[in-house]
A = this chain, B = another copy of it.
Amino acid sequence: MKINALDILKEKGLSNTGPRKRILEILIGDQAPLSASEVFKKLEFEGLCHNESTVYRNLQKFLEAEIIQSFTLNDGIARFEFKKGHHHHIVCIKCKKMDCLNLCQVEKLFDEAIKKHGFMPVSHHLEFYGLCKGCSTSPLK
């Protein structure tokens, strides 16, 4: 029942290469969403990948195959995470730690208003910003 990167690649008809497999493993294993450059740094450190383009291209493939999902934070940088159901995130404005919030009753809250504007709702993006426990209790800076 554990999620296996190789199985997913096979299922989606994607060839198994060192960088690709590892990128997927990282996204499967990580609880919080990662930026392309964060993913790359890990691969580079492990000597498994020498180029950011490889990471971008694989992330793009994974998105197309709907293996992962992405969203852009307010800093303008895209984050990628293994595909989960619809949910949102809370980001620490100080240390950038990010958590997933596994709930959402937003649609119904706004549904009427959106239709009043003549729009047919398709999706939405919601991120919370705040201070994590560590950062809100830290006395320094």
Interface residues, chain A, CB within 8 Å of chain B? 71-78, 88, 90, 92-93, 99, 101, 103, 105-106, 109-110, 113-114, 117-133, 136
**B126 with A131: CB separation less than 8 A:** no
* A74-B71, A101-B110, A113-B103 known; A130-B125 Cβ under 8 A: no
- Output the nearest chain B residue to A102 by Cβ-Cβ distance: B113
Cross-chain pairs A/B with CB under 8 angstroms, 19 sampled: A71-B74, A72-B73, A72-B75, A74-B125, A88-B110, A90-B121, A92-B119, A93-B122, A101-B117, A114-B128, A118-B133, A119-B131, A119-B132, A121-B130, A124-B126, A124-B127, A124-B129, A125-B125, A125-B126
